[in-house]
Amino acid sequence: MGAQSGLVGRDRETTQLAAALAAAATGDGHLVAATGGLGSGKTALLTTARELAARHGFTVLAARGSFLERELPFGLISRLLVCVPPGDTQNQPRIAAALGQTDVLAEPGPITLPELHVLHRALAKMAAERPVAIVVDDVQWADQPSLQWLSTLPHRIEHLPVFVLAGVGAGETCAGPQTLEELLAAATSEIRLDELSPAATRVLLENELGPLTDEFVDMCRKQAGGNPLLLLNLARAYTGHIERLTAPALLPTLNVRLRRLATHAPDAVHALAVLGGEVTLPRVAELIGIEPCELAGTIASLHRMGLLSAEGALVHPLVRNTLREELTITERQDLHAAAARLLTETGASAEAVAEHLVETRPQDEEWATEVLTTAASRARTRNRVQDAVRYLRRALDEPQTTDLLAELGEVESYVDVPSAVDRLAEADPAHPALPGLLALLGEEPEFEADQIADPDVLPSRPSEFEPYLKAIGFVRMRGELAAAYARADRALTVARRWQHRPCTAAALTARSACLRDLGRLGAAEADAREALAVLDSCGAARTSTPVFAALTELSLALLEMGDVETASAVFELVPAEVPDLFGAPALLAARGRVRIAAERRKDGVRDLLDCGERLHARHNDATSWRLHLGGEHLHAEERLARSLGAVLPLAAALREQAQHLGAEGIALLQESVDLLAPTGALLERARSHFALGRALHLAGRVKPARAELRTAVDLADDCGVEELAEQIRQELAAGPAGLTESERRVAALAAEGKMNREIAAVLFVQLRTVEIHLTKVYRKLGIDGRDQLAPALRLAG
């Protein structure tokens, strides 16, 4: 029966059998029926029962019903009693014939009372010597006389040391169904073999594959349920992928059982595998060319075997995939074509019919085109873009309508930019979507679109997306970072709902910029990397503005985190001579900053100046690229930022100017701090507070200096920028002159809670000396009293 393994997950059933054996050994005969569908582990349970009976000293008589010998009278009995002559058979020629004591075959017909009497006496005689265990598998295939004899045993063995275990295959054909029902009704108890538990499933799979994760076990259960045979075949067919896995080793067992059930059963299950969710009895019958009433019994049997759900669909994906793969390509295509016609005629949905049409050869009929385009339209309405693309691509093989190519290009623009460009260019070279798509391939128009949308009105179509993101850029420029982030996040939700990859990438890039401004650098890096992956998945060129924008944000996030090496590696994707695209100036500015941080100042300055030249050539300008050039560039940056109302660039320009002025730059730094206060820009605030604290230190204003530095270190810690936080702590530790060793000793003891007299006694100094040291410590640390000493000393290292 295909793959087999030891009994797993049947402890409850084994315990039940052990109890029945123990009772039979004391003269309380039991007949237990074990019922299970295909692959439920019934045979493994019966094998375990035989071994258990033998260990308990039973004489074990075992046999199994044979489908091919189900018409042979006494065939099962002959296999059970082959080594145990039942005594005098002179007057019972059929029993003698069955046991090979004559050369003639047993005559067909029901078992007679004298024949039953002989068999019962023989069993009683055996049981008088030692307990007897009769184990019969596949009882449903037993011949009629043998089945009749088994059905009489429950009443005959009530007071004998006899244990009978009958294994019944649920849903299988039977030579005497009424007799089998009599047997089941008279049984002492019945064991129904249900699916294995998740824990037992894990044990079975790990016996084959070794330790497994919960996720993997769950995936296996989705494919094969808790069916031992299916799970075992799945494990042995597994090569790294669970989805759409097939198990060809199942087919011999499966096909034999199906053919025994009915000649049309294999065709029925293949039809079910193809029909999928559109299963109805009349449809399956029509598809395989039989009457529904003829199919009904087969469907019921397949359900009892555990192969079909109550709705008539195949339960296990592993079985469905295996049956589909058994068919040749031509057979599959023919079945799908027949199913498509049938479903159309019986009023199924366009999507259901289209799923079959995509698996067929061209039908060369207009109804197929209509179904596919209708299904695509409905799929687009439900934001199932990939399905819409599949349907429309398949529709190209049928008689076409005039606008089909353009419709396909529009849908492909969501997921496959190069293909969309080819379709739209062929359908309509002036199509309005083409410029934006060509930009994704690095072919930009001469002038950049300057349309800006309302940031409070979400885009309703992809063409409105870029103007909306530009509006978010202006919100961000004004320093309204939380508002900008919220809008970018909503835009991302919309793009993902549309399943529009270019829009999704653009929204991720915009959100990355907002996150970087907010100081959430890890999240900013993740968004930029995802944007690049999405752009790659839809075929965007590496030398295109959307890719340049995502690379810019990724490099800046890494730079802000202090990972200069990885930030430098980002630009390995970019040609040394950056193409003159709309996104090139921002990319050059980012690369310039990274190169300067990597101690390649000459190259970095060249990039920054190149950025400025390209902006000038486009009669445009932008903030931030001048910051690292110093001198008059800083004043120009300040003027531009003020004119644009660009809060973060202005704050940074003021801070950079003040850095060169020492204590005289305090006013500029205070303005920088004030500008940033309401923005939520944690990292920029940390930098400005740090610069202000340092300037105040230089001016001898220790107390306000330390307040600024403490704020700065908290902000830097919140951003996770360890390098900046450490620089601030060093400034806190040093102060304008730093604490002397004596001051440190006194401060440490005071921070522990010791009074001045105790400190004087410990250090062997005068009380007045302690007071003088503490006064200097308070001034240098910028605190008011000893209750602030402990945290101030911690900050000071």
Kind and range of the H or E element at 167?
Answer: strand 162-169
Q: How confident is the model at residue 3 (pLDDT cuts 50, 70, 90)?
A: very low
Contacts of 153 (CB under 8 A, 6+ apart): 31, 123, 134, 162, 164
CB burial of 255-289 (b: ≥16 within 10 Å; e: otherwise) equals eebbebbbebbbbbbbbbbbbeebbeeebbbbbbe
Dihedral in degrees, nearest 10, Cα atoms 524, 530, 532, 535: -130
Let me know: does 455 contact 474? Beta carbons within 8 Å. yes
Tell which residue, 740, 742, 751, 746, has the closest CA to residue 792.
751
Task: For residue 126, give Cα distances in angstroms to 84, 121, 154, 158.
Answer: 9, 9, 17, 15
Let me know: does 559 contact 597? Beta carbons within 8 Å. yes
Tell which residue, 578, 495, 498, 573, has the closest CA to residue 540.
573
Q: How far apart are CA 225 and CA 232, in angstroms?
A: 11
Let me know: does 642 contact 675? Beta carbons within 8 Å. no
* pLDDT mean over 373-377: 94
pLDDT tens track for 42-86: 999 999 999 999 999 999 999 999 999 888 888 898 888 876 655
Structure tokens at 393: 């691509």
Task: Tell me the one-letter amino acid at 316.
Answer: H
Task: Report pLDDT for 90.
Answer: 57
200-204, 259-263, 420-424, 742-746: range with lowest mean pLDDT? 742-746
Q: How confident is the model at residue 5 (pLDDT cuts 50, 70, 90)?
A: very low
Task: Report pLDDT for 280.
Answer: 82
371 or 103: whose pLDDT is higher?
371
Share of the chain above pLDDT 70, in %: 95
Q: Are strands 162-169 and 30-36 parallel, antiparallel or unpaired?
A: parallel
* pLDDT mean over 509-536: 96
Tell which residue, 540, 541, 552, 510, has the closest CA to residue 527.
510
Task: Report pLDDT for 279.
Answer: 74
Specify the 3-state DSSP secondary structure of 137: strand
What's this model's pTM, rounded to 2 decimal places?
0.72
Q: How far apart are CA 776 and CA 774, in angstroms?
A: 5
Let me know: does 115 contact 145? Beta carbons within 8 Å. yes
Inform me whether the pLDDT recorded for 4 exceeds 50: no
Task: For residue 621, give Cα distances in angstroms to 611, 625, 626, 637.
Answer: 10, 10, 11, 10
The 3-state secondary structure of 663-728 reads HHHHHHHHHHHHHHCCCCCHHHHHHHHHHHHHHHHHCCCHHHHHHHHHHHHHHHHHHCCHHHHHHH
* pLDDT mean over 541-564: 95
Inform me whether the pLDDT recorded for 602 exceeds 90: yes
Inform me whether the pLDDT recorded for 504 exceeds 90: yes
DSSP 327: S
Task: Report pLDDT for 449.
Answer: 67
Average pLDDT of the chain, as a whole number: 89
Residue 272 CA, distance from chain mean position: 28
Let me know: does 20 contact 32? Beta carbons within 8 Å. yes
Inform me whether the pLDDT recorded for 293 exceeds 50: yes
pLDDT tens track for 697-726: 878 788 888 889 999 999 999 988 888 988
Q: How far apart are CA 99 and CA 79, in angstroms?
A: 8
Kind and range of the H or E element at 480?
Answer: none
Task: Report pLDDT for 734.
Answer: 67
